[in-house]
Amino acid sequence: MSDSKRNDRGGGGEPMNERLDDLLLERALYGVSAEHERELGAAVDGAPAREYELAAASVALAVSAGRLQPMPDQLRSKLQAGAKAYFAAREGAGAAAPASAPRERSAPRLELVRDPAPAPRGRAASNLGWLVAAAAAVAVIAAWWPRPEPVAPSVGELRTQLLARADASKLEAKGQEQFAPGASGDIVWSNVAQSGFIRLVGAPVNDPKVQQYQLWIFDEAQEHPVDGGVFDVSSSGEVLIPIDAKLRVTKPTLFAITIEKPGGVVVSDRQRIAIVAPVS
């Protein structure tokens, strides 16, 4: 039998190009036997195999993405129109469209799958068509799918980050016998960042309609203590409160928490000091 005859028929009696398409598709999806692998190695240069493997990988990605939400109708219509235009352009390549036929907008060229030449025929061509369409759909979905919004760090995480700074100080806080017996905790403060956090354990729970806690920062550069913010304690367990200093703190000497009327005061009379944290 001549070389041309051998190239026209495969081992199963099929035309050679259709047999190679079937084998390549089968290898990309399921794998093939060693005998068929040798047959493929002798007949192809690797490029057609890569096309099938890339398309199969795209389909696998789409199938495995079980968390995808239902596709919007507008996006679905665009995908269907793009796929229709893509395959219409392939089938009608080289032939002029009738003058009366409406022209469809061509879909964007998909870079993942190289346009094969000659076009596959028979069962393999049909399967590859669906694979290419699926790969195109995956590419569009990847561009459409919303990226997750960044999650803001918690108060605890921010406190940990501040503690890691070389300029941060951690001061022991202690409850006063008359207003917060048994309360404890600490205050973390950074002069450079002008930021800090209060951590309290066992502080008495307050009723915001009756009274609130207010932090004061005693600073050598200020005539009056700096207002560090008003807060509530809703649980007898551990609470974390960001410090909200109303003025810049230069050299703190003492952090004190008083009990004030709802909303706090501009200047405290210091009659109800509940918790203190001196700067050593």
Whether residues 52 and 89 share a domain: the answer is: yes
| The last residue of a domain, from among 144, 169, 188 | 144
Distances (CA, A) of 97 to 88, 102, 106, 192: 11, 9, 14, 73
State the CATH number of the domain containing residue 238: 2.60.40
User: What token pair was written down for 74?
Assistant: 């507008």
Domain containing 109 equals: 3-144
Q: What is the pLDDT of residue 16?
A: 58
Whether residues 108 and 183 share a domain: the answer is: no
Exposure on the CB side of residue 231, measured as CA atoms within 13 A: 22
Residue 150, domain member (yes or no): no
Helix (H, G, I), strand (E, B) or coil at 215: strand
Whether residues 79 and 172 share a domain: the answer is: no
pLDDT (tens, 9 = 90+) of the chain, 280 residues, equals: 444 444 444 455 555 567 766 766 676 666 768 887 777 676 665 545 555 555 655 555 555 555 555 667 776 777 777 777 767 776 666 555 455 545 554 444 444 444 445 445 555 555 555 566 666 666 656 666 667 788 899 999 999 999 999 999 999 999 999 999 999 999 999 999 999 999 999 999 999 999 999 999 999 999 999 999 999 999 888 999 999 999 999 999 999 999 999 999 999 999 999 999 999 8
Whether residues 21 and 100 share a domain: the answer is: yes
Whether residues 188 and 260 share a domain: the answer is: yes
Whether residues 177 and 117 share a domain: the answer is: no
| The last residue of a domain, from among 121, 144, 167 | 144
